[in-house]
Amino acid sequence: MESTRSKLIKLLSLQDDNYISGQEISDKLKISRSAIWKHMKELEKDGYEIEAKRNKGYRILGSPNKVSENTIQWGLETNWLGKKVIHKASTPSTQIVAHQLAQEGAGHGTVVIADEQTAGKGRLSRDWYSAKNKGIWMSIILRPNILPYLAPQLTLLTATVLADVFQKKLQLAPKIKWPNDIILNDKKVSGILTEMQAEQDKINYVIIGFGINVNHEQKELPNTIINRATSLKIETGQAWEIIELIQRILATFEEKYEEYMSKGFPIVKQRWEQNGYRIGEKTKIKSFQSVDEAVIMGIADDGALLAKYQDGEVKKIYSAEIDW
Ligand code: BT5
């Protein structure tokens, strides 16, 4: 059940800069005027700046800088994504929390976010470092009506969403390294992990997890990745408001996801390839039997990487070690 408090914040945030009268709040939320006043005081304690004017009512002037269910929702311009947010100060992995919630029936578009992950997961049991309050460590629960074999398209879609935000909001030039890394100046700033639970021809749920290094200084990156990783702050020379970035990512995600659902994969493929890392360049691809030189061509409809080998044959690569 949605709390009165988060309903109140939503109601206030819908007014933009206008006031909403105590009477209207009272009618809409079915609470007394004195209960409203108490809620406002609680919000102020949490860092919300609220103006109360006689004969006009209330309005929010500023929200706290701290990530919470309420601060994410205040000003969030989405219809279904992030309408339910679960925020954890610290958790082993938002993926684990999201799996549990999805199994308990959490709806499409539920978002799990943490200030810190103590056992963040990459692919193939690799670690994902998720320092406290330095980045965005988020998992989104989706219940898409697509066939399970198409789920890797959602990883590619997510990569295009993050690239779009980094490009348009931060004026950066991100590259997407197949299958799931966002690269800035040849270093990894973000990784995506898609996991799903499906039957043969039906997806029960998909969890899209992504981590973004936002406000790390160079020296705050762990030694093991310091040469291969970067943050938005390192690349832009300035710190970024995490809540604002989250809201922008969610709004862009919802828009691009709907477009993908209605128009299909070609548009995602096109966007992905526009930003694809080393497209048209020669790399070494190590497969089971050999190491071959091949030119990266782009991606196939099923999410595979397309590479053109020296004999001219274009092959689909599903998993291989690529010497980027
Ligand atoms: C990924 O795996 O890149 C997927 C990362 C997904 C993380 C999110 S955070 C929210 C959600 N909850 C989770 O527990 N996970 C998801 P992969 O391609 O396997 O890359 C992992 C490798 O990236 C590691 O082996 C390191 O080399 C490197 N790495 C680890 N942490 C990093 C970081 N913070 N920044 C850049 N590189 C990192």
**β-sheet bridge partners, residue 268:** none
Q: How many folded domains does the chain comprise?
A: 3
* Shared domain check, 287 and 258: no
- Give, in degrees to the nearest 5, the angle at Cα 82 between 11 and 195: 170
CB of residue 91 inside a 6 A radius of ligand 1: no
CA of 321 to the centre of ligand 1 (A): 17
Cβ–Cβ < 8 Å for 87, 66: no
Cβ–Cβ < 8 Å for 72, 82: yes
pLDDT tens-digit map of 202-224:
999 999 999 999 999 999 999 99
* Shared domain check, 319 and 185: no
* Shared domain check, 93 and 141: yes
CA of 106 to the centre of ligand 1 (A): 25
Q: Measuring from atom 33 of ligand 1, which residue has the nearest CA?
A: 129
Q: In CATH, what number is assigned to the domain containing residue 296? A: 2.30.30.100
The count of other CB atoms within 10 Å of the CB of residue 51 is 13
CA of 137 to the centre of ligand 1 (A): 10
Q: Measuring from atom 16 of ligand 1, which residue has the nearest CA?
A: 209
* Shared domain check, 224 and 117: yes
* Shared domain check, 154 and 109: yes
* Shared domain check, 19 and 75: no
CB of residue 211 inside a 6 A radius of ligand 1: yes
* Shared domain check, 138 and 35: no
Indicate the top mutation candidate among 99, 110, 128, 178 to test ligand 1's pocket, ranked by most ligand atoms within 8 A of CB. Answer: 128
- In the sheet where 202-213 sits, what is the strand order? 85-91, 110-117, 135-142, 202-213, 187-199, 181-184, 175-177
Cβ–Cβ < 8 Å for 93, 67: no
* Shared domain check, 305 and 221: no
Q: In CATH, what number is assigned to the domain containing residue 12? A: 1.10.10.10
The per-residue pLDDT of the chain, averaged, comes to 94
* Shared domain check, 77 and 43: no
Q: Which residues have C-beta within 8 Å of that of residue 253, sequence separation ≥ 6?
A: 81, 140, 158, 161
Residue 54 φ/ψ, nearest 5 degrees: -55, 135
Q: In CATH, what number is assigned to the domain containing residue 207? A: 3.30.930.10
Q: How sure is the predictor about 162, in pLDDT bands with cuts at 50, 70 and 90?
A: very high
Last residue of a domain, one of 13, 30, 62: 62
Last residue of a domain, one of 29, 62, 95: 62
* Shared domain check, 202 and 86: yes
* Shared domain check, 39 and 109: no
* Shared domain check, 45 and 179: no
Q: For the chain, give the percent of residues with pLDDT over 90.
A: 82
pLDDT tens-digit map of 101-132:
999 999 999 999 999 999 999 999 999 999 99
Residue 53 φ/ψ, nearest 5 degrees: -120, 130
Q: How sure is the predictor about 10, in pLDDT bands with cuts at 50, 70 and 90?
A: confident
CB of residue 275 inside a 6 A radius of ligand 1: no
What pLDDT is recorded for position 72? 92
CA of 191 to the centre of ligand 1 (A): 5
| Eight-class DSSP state of 130 | B
What is the spatial distance between Cα 196 and Cα 141, in angstroms, rounded to a whole number? 10
Domain containing 146 equals 69-274
For the CA of 120, the nearest atom of ligand 1:
14
CB of residue 230 inside a 6 A radius of ligand 1: no
pLDDT tens-digit map of 306-317:
999 999 999 999
What is the spatial distance between Cα 178 and Cα 192, in angstroms, rounded to a whole number? 11
The model carries a pTM of 0.89
Last residue of a domain, one of 238, 253, 274: 274
Average of per-residue pLDDT across 240-268: 96
CA-based nearest residue to 160, from 168, 56, 9: 168
